[in-house]
Each structure stands twice: as C-alpha cells, then as structure tokens.
C-alpha cells in the first residue's frame, strides 16, 4: 500500500485552467493508492468574512479540478473558517460532490476529531486532522478539531487494537520557521506512544525537519504545494522568500506488518505550476533536509537554543502583523481576547525567550 502526502494547498487566486503539473507528479500519483493533502482555503462564493483574520482566502468550485489526482484532504487548518461556518459548509459540500474524502472538521469537537476510516487493498487506514486554529465550538456552529492529545488518544488506541494504520495530520507550529516547537514534538511523541504509525504536519509554509521516534517517522511540515505568492506579501519575513517555493511530497510504502519505507519527492512550486526535481536536484534536497533534521537529534539545550533563536524573529513579525492588519490597539477588549485566544504556553515561552535573546544580543 503506497500513500503520498502533500502539504498546504490554497486555490485562492490560482488560475486553475492554466496551472500545470509536471509528468513526474502524475507518475507519482499513478503509483499511489492514496494521495493526501491539506486543503487550506474555503470553496465558497460568499463574502461574509471571519473576524480577526489577517487574510481570508477562498476559491470557486471549478478550481477543485486541480485536485482530481487527490483521494483525501485534511480540512483542519487556520483558514477553513475564513468565511465563517457557511464557508466551511460550502467547502464540505463541494468536496463531497467530487468524491474526495475529508477529515478534521465537524459541528462539534466530538464530530471534528472523528477519524476518517478507509479500507483499501487489504489495508485499514485511519486519518485524524487537528489544529489549535478555527476550532469547533458550541457558539460558532462548526470548525476544526483541537490538537489536544486527550481528545485523540483513546481513538488511536482503539483503532490500533482494530488493526488500523493510524495517521494524525496536524496543522501546527510557527510560519516561516524551520524547526518544530517543543510543544509539537511532545504531542507527536505522545501520539506515537499511543499507537500512531506516522505523523504528518503542515502550516509553516516551508518544509521542516523529519524525526524518527520509536521507529516511526514524524514529518513536521511539508511546506507549500499550491499557494499563490501574493498571499505572503507583507506577511513573510523575507521578500520573495525562495523557501516558500521549495518543498517535497512524502511517500510511504506500507508492508503487511505496518513497517514502511519512505521516499522524498522534491519540487519547485509557483503561481503557474509544480515541477518535480530531477534525481540530482532531489538528492541535494535530501541532504539539506538531513542537515536541518540533525538538530532534532541534538542535546535538548542546543535544540531549544536553535528553535528560540528562529521564533524570536517571527514573534516580532507577528506583532507587526497584528498592528498593521488587525489594528490591535483599536480593537475592543473582547476582540483582543479573541485574537490572543489561540495563544498557548509555548507561544508565551517563545516571546519570553525572544526577549531574553534580544537582551543578550545588545
């Protein structure tokens, strides 16, 4: 059984009639039993936007033609409620009409965390989608599953007993940061200890390192697959950041005993299409991924120092985004609370560590 995973997909502003995939992409999907990605923009025509979003994205139903090669998408991400619950409902309806499976959202947390179960070619596969963003609540009518281990641990254990290959697909971490946070690593490790077979991640918009834990792979971020460059204007810390255009698909070949072999398929993506790397380019990318991943094997202090050094820069950028795009000072107290509601203990640690780093650098 071969599964191929792709990262962030936004069809917002993409000309779906002219966007192209190279032959190597089609060669990969033809040899894959399941092709999985993260659909990060609502498929809707409505214009009522979610409050306190720095940017809202949407695309037409016809743009889903670009996903004809996909079998499964996660909807657990920070943009799926860009047009409130109606936009989410429109998206689910549009995807259902294509025959593509989806997971990670629901009217309640109980529904959103329910796994997608697929039986194919003698294998039983279970997908979870979860994130700290756009969570379903009693008040908002629907959204994503919260990435709380307590919500999914019993599901993972139960499904393992029932003979499923279990795959959590998380939308997590800090955008534009190469190194996953301590919080993400802890969650990934707990899921594997509970029985998850592989962990896939997205959200940073650039690829991150790959970790092996107890013989299982953790792919912390698959970066962008389809994403219009204009979305990052004013948000990315580096203008025309080439990291936003380079990433990889991740394939796993599952054996009957649930052991598996993996392969990296590097590519370049832009507003007009995706081109996979040739063998030489792909080998170079693999070496770069190995180099980035080495920090995950380093002593804890060295890892934390490297992580906080990067998040220090991003935390300063986030302050600018809140000022420029959300007019944070002009917001009411209740809106300020909503904006900061997704802050976690890890966010506070990042900002504190950033302050300490800045003091030492003076």
Decide if 250 contacts 169 (C-beta within 8 A): no
Instruction: Kindly report, residue by residue over 256-300, the tens digit of the pLDDT.
Output: 999 999 999 999 999 999 999 999 999 999 999 999 999 999 999
pLDDT attached to residue 18: 97
Q: Give the CB-side neighbour count of residue 212, counting CA atoms within 13 A.
A: 6
Q: Model-level pTM?
A: 0.92
Output the average pLDDT for the chain.
91
Query: What are the Cα distances from residue 35, in Å, to 199, 266, 316?
Result: 15, 16, 37
pLDDT attached to residue 328: 53
Degrees to nearest 5, angle at CA 182 with 320 and 156: 120
Decide if 81 contacts 134 (C-beta within 8 A): yes
Separation of alpha carbons 159 and 359, rounded Å: 49
Query: What stretch(es) of the chain map to CATH 3.60.21.10?
Result: 2-297
Does pLDDT of 158 surpass 70?
A: yes
Once rounded to an integer, what is the mean pLDDT over residues 324-344?
Answer: 59
> What is the CATH code of the structural domain delimited by 2-297?
3.60.21.10
The percent helix, strand, coil of the chain (3-state, each to 5) is 40, 25, 35
pLDDT attached to residue 350: 73
Once rounded to an integer, what is the mean pLDDT over residues 167-184?
Answer: 94
Instruction: Kindly report, residue by residue over 75-108, the tens digit of the pLDDT.
Output: 999 999 999 999 999 999 999 999 999 999 999 9
Decide if 34 contacts 118 (C-beta within 8 A): yes
């Amino acid at each position: 059984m071969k599964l191929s995973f792709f990262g962030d997909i936004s069809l917002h502003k993409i000309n779906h009639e002219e966007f192209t995939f190279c032959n190597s992409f089609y060669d990969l999907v033809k040899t894959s039993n399941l092709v999985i990605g993260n659909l990060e923009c609502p498929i809707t025509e409505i214009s009522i936007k979610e409050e306190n979003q720095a940017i809202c994205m949407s695309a037409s139903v016809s743009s889903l033609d670009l996903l004809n090669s996909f079998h499964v998408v996660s909807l657990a991400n920070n943009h799926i409620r860009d047009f409130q619950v109606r936009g989410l409902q429109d998206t689910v309806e549009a995807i259902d009409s294509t025959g593509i499976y989806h997971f990670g959202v629901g009217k309640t947390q109980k529904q959103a965390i329910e796994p997608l179960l697929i039986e194919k070619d003698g294998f039983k596969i279970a997908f979870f989608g979860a994130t700290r963003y756009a969570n379903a609540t009693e008040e908002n009518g629907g959204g994503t599953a919260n990435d709380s281990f307590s919500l999914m641990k019993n599901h993972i254990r139960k499904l393992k007993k029932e003979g499923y290959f279990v795959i959590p697909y998380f939308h997590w971490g800090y955008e534009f940061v190469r190194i996953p946070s301590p919080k993400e690593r802890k969650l990934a490790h707990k899921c594997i200890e509970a029985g998850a077979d592989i962990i896939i991640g997205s959200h940073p918009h650039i690829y991150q390192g790959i970790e092996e834990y107890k013989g299982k792979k953790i792919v912390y971020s698959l970066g962008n697959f389809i994403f219009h460059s204009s979305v990052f204007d004013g948000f990315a810390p580096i203008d025309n950041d080439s990291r936003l255009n380079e990433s990889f698909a991740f394939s796993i070949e599952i054996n009957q005993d649930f052991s598996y072999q993996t392969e990296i398929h590097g590519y370049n993506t832009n507003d007009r299409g995706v081109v996979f790397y040739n063998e030489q380019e792909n080998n170079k990318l693999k070496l770069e991924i190995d180099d980035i991943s080495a920090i995950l094997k380093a002593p804890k202090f060295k890892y934390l120092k490297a992580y906080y050094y990067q998040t220090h820069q991003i935390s300063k950028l986030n302050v600018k985004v809140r000022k420029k795009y959300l007019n944070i000072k002009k917001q009411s107290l209740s809106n300020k609370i909503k904006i900061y509601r997704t802050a976690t203990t890890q966010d506070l640690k990042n900002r504190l560590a950033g302050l300490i780093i800045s003091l030492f650098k003076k």
